[in-house]
Amino acid sequence: MTTAKWIWRLALSILLVVSFVAAEKPTGYHREICQYRKGKHIQPMSAYHNRLMAMREQMQIRATLQGPEIYGYILPSTDEHLNQEVAARDQRLRYLSGFSGVRAFAAVTSHGAAIWVENRYAQQADGELECDWEIYLTSGNVSVADWLGSHVHIDKRVGADPHLVPHALWVQWERELEDKFLKLVRINTNLVDHIWGEERPEMPKNQVIKVHEKHFAGESWQDKVKELRRRLAHLGCDAMVVTSLTEIAYLLNIRGTDIPYTPVIKSYAVISQDDIFFYVDHSKISLGIDLHLRTDCFNEDCVKIKEYNQIWSDIRTYAQIWKRVLVPAPCVQDLGASEAIYTSMPGKIVVWEISPIIFMRAQKNSDEQAGMRRAHIRDGAAICEAMSNMETRFHTEQWTEEKIKYEVELWRLSQKHSKGLSLRTVVAYGEHSALPYYISSNVTNIEVSDQSLLVIESGGQYLEGTTDVSRTFIFGEPTHEMKKAYTNVLAGILHLAQLKFPSDLKPSEVDALVRSMVWKDMTDFPQATGHGIGSFGSVEEPPISVSYGKNSSFHFKQGYFFSSESGYYKRDDFGVRLKNVLEVVDTGHTHPSGARFLAFRDVTMVPYEPKLIDSTLLSAAEKRLLNEYNAKIRNDIGDELKRLGNMRAFYWMMNQTRHIREYLPEDEYRSATGAGSCGHSASPLILLGLMVILSAIMPLRS
């Protein structure tokens, strides 16, 4: 190094050190309960505090055993397959910190600890985490690199487990930390696992894989593999490493119980033109699965089952043979492959593309479409049973958010072909309903009365399909403001459901149709309007995302199912949330451009809250749409409730879906008839009616 370069580097290092010392450290989420401890050096001696100290020891021990010390460690809440909801064995972040939410990650240094959570989990994190922890929002302006840059000296190393981090996110962190003069390094043995030791839960044994029967799946797994191979050949790929559990479950027509809320099996798959390898715990394989997957033969349509961890040695071996192998890239909710998977093969053979399985799975076949409709009828009946039972007992019992959550889940799980929940049930009352990302828990649980609005967001897994629904209720009398907010939100949902459009329209472009009804009052809701939904699979399924802030190149196709959501949130007062699942259908007509005309069809069959609907704010067309929706509920859910023999729920449903008069409001009437502003001109229809009445009561003259 020349003298000039050496002097320049020394000056830069001095400047950075001075900046590091002088810089004001980031401040996170305001933790009022922790303020009194500032400057008092109070250290809580709890299990979580001890684990944090043990983590710091592990960071130092690693320097002795494996090389240079790491001065920071990043820990995501995901597992090796990048699931957000994970098995007990993989709840590393919860074990270390006590935070039980999802979609989070933490950073630990020798003198600090911070966690990044979504807005919806901030209150929960504040209640669950000790004061050792700072809390930041993932949507905020302090990144993990910013925080580490203010807590770790330059030219130091920060570690993370590459098995738990998406490749795309690893590259982003690597670049951002490099800008802070820090180096991100791979720590292949997870440090939390060292601390957890023998107390770490085992994966449940003998939870055998279930065959997802063809009459539910609509297609054999052999046909799906054949189509996947065709698409891989089109991309010029010899093989594909499948890391997504929902994709493996779909592809092989199998389901399991390894992950909460999603019926999947912890496994990997490798699909080449000649072989199918399935990496899984052998204890989960039954004779039925052996027969289903044809494990006793040796052609290209036979599955070879291997132990779960053998994937790592196998892909390194096969990488010497493969010329091009597809490794999944991110797609909307799907995070793609981990950094460990991506770097286990030479970069020159890796084709980093969105998994073709995503597009195969999104377009449901006719059996899956029919199944989704049946699942939503069962689900609609469950909500009617829960709400009618609750309404009957509401004024004679004490109700809380958690009790209502239990009630809704109980009725849903009692339905035929129910296989569990599809998401964490959200019950939010009063001020909590005004929090768009609120998650109810024992920490935040409050009593529910008849004075404010109650938001319930929930979903179920059925053999026929997956459901996701939000409704807002009130057990008392609403204010005019509540009714106006609810009616505007409802109008947005109705508008989207009746849309007809060319097939080249992007999902992000329909978002304004829903939001326009709340935009007119200068309000908005922070959630995406919609996302794809699986068939007895994931409640959030790519590639569909309806959000005007996201530029998606994907289009709707006949057979897609997705959610339609709208909301209104008045801070510290009340909130409204409605969500339906829509099916994309072909109208049979062609756009002048050659594209097909598509339309949406409601499959969610849950009544709206009539007490919250101000019919004077709805147009005649909107009332007609609402009446048509209610008539379908009365027909489909009515038959289901009568079949179940639950007449209490039947009469509750009939009352909730009563007909609304579709007369024109006065201003629309005047516009249509050309009547004067003073309102004295008689309507031709009224005059005609009077003539008919007079002719009926007056004697005919010869």
Task: Kindly state the average pLDDT of the residues 342-366.
Answer: 98
Q: At what angle do helices 620-644 and 480-497 cross, to 10 degrees?
A: 90
Residues 6+ apart with CB under 8 A from 691: none
Q: Is residue 661 in some structural domain?
A: no
Same domain, 309 and 405: no
- How does residue 553 score in pLDDT terms, banded at 50, 70 and 90? confident
Arithmetic mean of pLDDT, 10-16? 53
Look at residue 187 in the predicted model and tell me its pLDDT.
93
Q: Note whether 154 and 283 are same-domain residues.
A: no
Q: What residue type is 120 in one-letter code? A: R
Written as one letter, the residue type at 139 is S
Same domain, 352 and 371: no
The pLDDT score that the predictor gives to residue 122 is 87
Q: Which CATH number goes with the domain that contains 293?
A: 3.40.350.10
165 located within any domain = yes
pLDDT band per the 50, 70, 90 thresholds, residue 671: low
Helix, strand, coil percent content, the chain, rounded in steps of 5: 45, 20, 40
Quote the tokens at residue 3. Answer: 């003298």
Residues 525, 609, single domain; the answer is yes
> Quick one: what percent of the chain has pLDDT higher than 70?
88
Residue 569 β-bridge partners: 575
Tell me whether residue 315 is in a domain. Answer: yes
What is the reported pLDDT for 681? 41
CB 214 within 8 A of CB 253: yes
Domain boundary among 199, 225, 256: 199
End-to-end alpha-carbon separation of the chain, Å? Answer: 122
Q: Answer yes or no: is 702 within a domain.
A: no
For the ranges 10-24, 505-519, 542-556, 588-602, the lowest mean pLDDT is seen at 10-24
Instruction: Clarify whether residues 304 and 437 are in a common domain.
Output: no
Residue 552 and residue 416 in one domain: yes
Residue 46 reports pLDDT greater than 90: no
The count of domains in the chain is 4
Q: Please check whether residue 668 is in contact with residue 636, taking contact to mean a CB–CB distance below 8 angstroms.
A: no
Q: Are residues 296 and 429 in the same domain?
A: no
- Mark whether 49 and 14 lie in a shared domain: yes
> Is residue 66 in some structural domain?
yes
* CA 427/CA 668 separation, integer angstroms: 39
Contacts of 110 (CB under 8 A, 6+ apart): 56, 59, 71
Per-residue pLDDT at 62:
72
Q: Which two tokens stand for residue 136?
A: 């930041």
According to the model, what pLDDT value does residue 700 have? 38
| Residue 205 placed within a domain | no
Q: Are residues 497 and 575 in the same domain?
A: yes
Q: Which of 132, 166, 199 is the last residue of a domain?
A: 199
**pTM for the model:** 0.89
Based on the fold, state whether residues 23 and 129 are members of the same structural domain.
yes
**Residue 352, domain member (yes or no):** yes
Residue 273 scores a pLDDT above 70:
yes
DSSP 3-state of 315: helix
Q: What is the mean pLDDT of residues 315-325?
A: 96
User: Which residue among 330, 347, 362 closes a domain?
Assistant: 362
Q: Give the structural domain span for 68.
A: 3-199
* Whether residues 177 and 112 fall in one domain: yes
User: Does pLDDT of 63 surpass 80?
Assistant: no
Lowest-confidence segment of 25-29, 267-271, 658-662 by average pLDDT: 25-29
Among candidates 437, 440, 423, which has minimal Cα distance to 539?
423
Whether residues 623 and 504 fall in one domain: yes
- Asked if the structure places residue 204 within a domain, the reply is no
What CATH number does the domain containing 504 carry?
3.90.230.10
Per-residue pLDDT at 701 exceeds 50: no
647 by DSSP, 3-state: which? helix
Angle (CA) 488 492 497, round 5°? 145
pLDDT digits (tens, 9 = 90+) for 366-391: 999 999 999 999 999 999 999 999 99
Looking at residues 104-131, what average pLDDT do you find? 92
| Structure tokens that stand for 260 in this block | 């909460």
Q: How far apart are CA 448 and CA 398, in angstroms?
A: 8
Residue 685's pLDDT band (boundaries 50, 70, 90)? very low
Task: Note the pLDDT tens digit of each residue in 432-445.
Answer: 999 988 888 888 89
Q: What is the pLDDT of residue 357?
A: 99
